[in-house]
Chain A
Amino acid sequence: MRTGEKTTILILDDEPIVCKRLKPYLEKYGYEVETFTDSSNALERVKEKDFDIVITDLKMEGIDGMTFLTKVKEKSPSTQVIVITGFATMETAKQSYQKGVFDFIAKPFKLSEIHEVVKKAEKKLKQE
């Protein structure tokens, strides 16, 4: 991770409300945030740029979250991936730990919860 620069975060969730609320919240803490509601657009962006942290939903139209995060990890293994997913799909989500996912958060979640996880991911980035 480059020091002195802002930590970059990409958020992918097909429900716009999630992006709308996370972006300003995380920006306030000094992160550089880009949001996507369409997974193919997000994938295009990931091909152009390596993000420090990727926050993604699992169940989406088109390319699903699992495929997306696999591609992210292939391209940039150091990227920390945080999965946000509905409570019902949590169990299946956890089975994918071997894909190198950093952590899981069940929706709905508190803003402070995701901030904590992002901070932990940041710490891990610094250690690596």
Chain B
Amino acid sequence: MFEAFKNAFSKIFGFRRKKQEYSFVVLFNTFRAILSQNNRILELMADMGDKLSGEYVFDKQYIVSACEEISDQVYKLIYNLNVIGDHKYLELYEAFERIHRQIQEELAGRPTIPESPYAIPLDLITRDLSDEVGNKAANLGEIKNILHLNTPDGFAITTKAFKDFMEQNNIYEIIEHVLIHWDGLDEEFFFDSAREIQKRILAGKFPRKMLGEIEKTLNLIVEKSERERPFFAVRSSAWLEDSEHSFAGLHKTVLNVGKSGVLDAYRVVLASLYSCDAWSYRYNKGFHEHEAVLGVLCQLMIDPVCSGVLYTLHPTEPEKEVMLVSASWGLGPTVVEGVARVDEYQVDRSSGHPIVSMRIVKKEKQLTLLDEGGTLWTSVSEDKQNEPSLTSQQLKQLADTGMLLERYFKRPQDIEWAIDKKGEICILQARPLAVQRLELRSECDLSHLMETATVIMSKRGTVVQRGIATGSVFVVGDDTNLDEVPHGAIIVTRYTSPRLARIIKRVRGIITDYGSPTGHMATVAREFRVPTIVDTGIATQVLKNGMEITLDATQNIIFEGKIKELCLYELTEETVFEESYEYRLLKRILKKLSPLNLLDPHDSNFTPAGCMTYHDITRFVHEKAVEEIIRISESYPHKLGSRPKRLDIEIPLGIMLIDIGDGTSVDAAEKVVRADQITSVPLAALLEGLLLPGMWDTEPVTVDFKSLMSSITRTFSPSAAGPDQIGRNLVVVSKDYLNMNLRLGYHFNIVDSYIVDNPNDNYAYFRFLGGVTDTIRRSRRAICIAEILEHFDFKVETRGDLVVGRIKKLGRDQMCERMKILGALIGYTRQLDTQMHSDDMVEYFANRFVEKLEKKNSLNGKGGNYENG
């Protein structure tokens, strides 16, 4: 088919080429190649993102080959832009090289330490920053900022600071020397080297900029604390620490350090990375030295009444379903370092958390804070020595918090906690707990259990968040007081109401009758990792208050009764997918591919140097490619036999039209063409749809909404993407052909279509790519567009907010109808952005569009039954 094109082009442009100049045919074909590479890149990125969902098994080879392909496509894209752009964009090769090199480093197992500030306040930290601040600080940031649990305020000194400090003091040199010369046996050599490194670190000098930044952040935290004499706990937060490798106790923690002592404490913590113990642990576990990267966490000290450790599951007897709590008066090291006897409790994991056993010992010593900084062992007063260090109320609260953390991190947790003078529980750190693998006896074999259990529903609805939960059903209606929802319940509700977001933290699972996996509530459920299934249709009919069930949102089955073995099994699995090296690698690589930083072509950073990711390059190339094609057609109208024309229609689209053969009825020299002068079959049909009344309007649509959805009370802003945001757009046409590149605000529409009498040659391709709005609205919009396209028989692929619709081999008239629909859709989607306030809107807007169109055209969607031909 495409050959037919090329021939047509060659016939039309059979002109003589000047030296080294490309003919328009070549240039335009290159432009088309750019469009298809652009697509392929977006698809590849979306595919790679999908692999993180947990449903796929992929290996490193996959990551390597996906990176190869995407790099290859990006390279070709740049090459092609330079072909049509007179080699003006050679700088893009530098951007490509920079990103490509980073990806190669990652693949070679040399993760790059990210550029970041030297210090980051805990308020701004989540797990996304684990490369910047190390795992401990990242986990705590998550606990503070997502789960909003009580944790001491503080800040992290970043891995970037670590790197610069090590470089400034030439410490990498010694490490390098050891790595090259050590035979793996000579202990003395190894220990001497370790001591030398520690000595250098302890005497190390800070880069000036680093000093300034740390001091600034430190002062910020101190000021916020409103404490007169603030003290800090300075802890290690290494890359691999507190993940599946605990490194427990290998790195130093310095407690109760005054403001002026923070930098010294930082050196001490850094030096502990090269203690003989820590270094040999790494060596024996097979870590690479470049993975030994340390962030440092500085937390405001709290003066606890008592502190201790909570394991959310018995590490050697998980089947007992109990939590272990150790507690003692004063500061934590009493418990953590095992230097004195401590109280021990066993608490049931099920809600209510009854105490299973307790062992209260005589506690004679406690570690306390000194006013001038530092700590001191003191005697516990007589009356408190035999007193339990925790009340049953405190134990229950601790257990609730522990379960929340476990549900969230999907792993049994090892939590350091403290209770302050006000009696409030404070989380000092939390990390995965290594638990003995649950041995299943054959008689309670899981598959047997699953076979014999009564299935309430199976494979209904859509899984929003995988995972397994057991618990009692609590049905939430429109007027249910949410405070009545018990902790640890599985809530069942008709709609995915955003109202539920408030209580999502304390429930174990969610099941709904209706709603979409992209709604607000679904987003929150994923954020808190609560197992959730939506759109089951029947949940509220079959699940009643108080029923005990097992929600298996991994297999999408709801069982009667609590199959706790299923829950435990998942909890004690050897590898949690998110902890696997391949997952981390892919995630890190995606950070170099997907984020889009170049949003607005008018921004000063919209340059090759501003491209931080492959997505940026792709975006930049597409924008420039359209510009170049317009420039070429303007500068060399003689090549075309016709000058580019402004398309004059009622709607301000800013379209430049290039006629490459009988696409218009106007004179070649004309600068303007009207809609009625278009003879290009696909464009004429597309314009007809675009100009239908009601498709482009930006009128607020409050009236019929209120009747439809009582839950929505807002009126909608009419300020959709205004005409001022419309860029310069391009249409290339011939009698049978249309290629349209349309940027409306931040959206991109691409249409490519060929329509002749022979149905076998006919096709239409439509691509929509959304721009900056919040992700939820974006995906709603994508789903809405996809539904509309599907209704009209397009084959549709949706990935994030990229929607591609294809249709082919229909007769001429039917193809024209489809072009009309695309035209109408382009106008229509412009409105959608501001109005997609809830999931129900998706359905509503899709229906509204179809109705509008069918009313106007007496068009039938499915089945291709056309009355108007």
Which residue numbers of A lie inside 8 Å of B, CB to CB? 13, 15, 17-18, 20-24, 27-30, 86-88, 107-112, 114
Contacts and interface: CB of A to CB of B under 8 A. Distances in A.
A6 B574 CA distance: 21
Given A24-B575, A86-B65, A108-B56, A17 B447 contact: no
Given A86-B65, A108-B57, A114-B57, A21 B575 contact: yes
Contacts of A18: 57, 59
B808 interface: no
B463 to A, nearest CB: 11
Given A20-B574, A21-B577, A110-B55, A28 B60 contact: no
Contacts of B51: 108
Contacts of B445: 30
A109 B56 contact: yes
Contact of A88 (B58, B65, B569, B577): B65
Among B58, B60, B574, B577, find the residue whose CB has the most chain A CB atoms closer than 10 A. Answer: B58
Contact of A109 (B57, B446, B575): B57
Contact of B575 (A20, A107, A108): A20
B187 interface: no
Given A28-B569, A30-B447, A111 B62 contact: no
A55 B65 CA distance: 22
Nearest to B451: A30
13 contacts: A15-B59, A15-B61, A17-B60, A17-B581, A20-B575, A24-B574, A27-B446, A30-B446, A86-B62, A86-B65, A107-B59, A107-B61, A107-B62
Contacts of A86: 61-62, 65
Contacts of A111: 55-57
A29 B552 CA distance: 14
Identify the 7 closest CB pairs spanning chains A and B, nearest first. Answer: A30-B447, A108-B58, A15-B59, A20-B575, A108-B56, A17-B582, A24-B573
B439 to A, nearest CB: 11
Interface string B565-604: 0000100011101001110000000000000000000000
B285 interface: no
Nearest to A109: B57
B447 A107 contact: no
Interface string B513-542: 000000000000000000000000000000
A16 B276 CA distance: 30
**Which size class do B's interface residues fall under?**
20 to 34
B568 to A, nearest CB: 12
Nearest to B445: A30
B448 interface: yes
A41 to B, nearest CB: 19
A22 B574 CA distance: 11
Contacts of A29: 446-447, 450
A20 B580 contact: yes
B569 A107 contact: no
Interface of B: 51, 55-62, 65, 445-448, 450, 569, 573-575, 577, 580-582
B189 to A, nearest CB: 32
B60 A15 contact: yes
Nearest to A110: B55
Contacts of A88: 65
Given A29-B447, A30-B446, A86-B61, 9 more contacts: A17-B57, A17-B581, A18-B59, A20-B574, A29-B450, A30-B447, A86-B62, A107-B58, A111-B55
Contacts of B60: 15, 17
Contacts of A109: 56-57
Nearest to A24: B573
A28 B574 CA distance: 13
Among B55, B59, B447, B569, find the residue whose CB has the most chain A CB atoms closer than 10 A. Answer: B59
B620 to A, nearest CB: 29
A114 B56 CA distance: 10
A17 B580 contact: yes
A11 B573 CA distance: 18
Contacts of B56: 108-111
Contacts of B59: 13, 15, 17-18, 107-108
Nearest to A28: B446
B569 A30 contact: no
Nearest to B59: A15
Contacts of A15: 59-61
A45 B446 CA distance: 26
A126 B270 CA distance: 61
Contacts of A21: 57, 575, 577, 580
Nearest to B582: A17
A30 B59 CA distance: 25
A107 B580 CA distance: 17
Contacts of B57: 17-18, 21-22, 107-111, 114
A57 to B, nearest CB: 9
A113 to B, nearest CB: 9
Contacts of B569: 28
A87 B65 CA distance: 10
Contacts of A108: 51, 56-59, 62
Among A20, A21, A27, A86, find the residue whose CB has the most chain B CB atoms closer than 10 A. Answer: A21
A110 B53 CA distance: 10
A22 B57 CA distance: 8
A107 B51 CA distance: 11
Contacts of B446: 27-30
Nearest to A26: B447
Contacts of A114: 57
A21 B446 CA distance: 17
Nearest to B556: A112
A20 B60 CA distance: 13
Contacts of A28: 446-447, 569
A15 B61 CA distance: 9
B98 to A, nearest CB: 27
A107 to B, nearest CB: 6
Nearest to A86: B61
A13 B446 CA distance: 25
A2 B247 CA distance: 46
A28 B51 CA distance: 22
Contacts of A107: 57-59, 61-62
A26 B291 CA distance: 33
Contacts of B573: 24
Contacts of B580: 17, 20-21
A111 B58 CA distance: 10
A28 B446 CA distance: 6
B434 to A, nearest CB: 15
Contacts of A17: 57-60, 575, 580-582
A109 to B, nearest CB: 6
B447 to A, nearest CB: 3
Contacts of A20: 574-575, 580
Nearest to B442: A6
B459 to A, nearest CB: 11
A27 B62 CA distance: 25
B58 to A, nearest CB: 3
A29 B574 CA distance: 16
B265 to A, nearest CB: 38
Nearest to B573: A24
A34 B60 CA distance: 21
B845 to A, nearest CB: 31
A117 to B, nearest CB: 13
A64 B672 CA distance: 67
A15 B58 CA distance: 9
Contacts of A24: 573-575
A108 B57 CA distance: 5
Nearest to B56: A108
Nearest to A17: B582
B460 to A, nearest CB: 16
Contacts of A30: 445-448
A29 B736 CA distance: 57
A86 B445 CA distance: 33
Contacts of B577: 21
Nearest to B58: A108
A107 B61 CA distance: 9
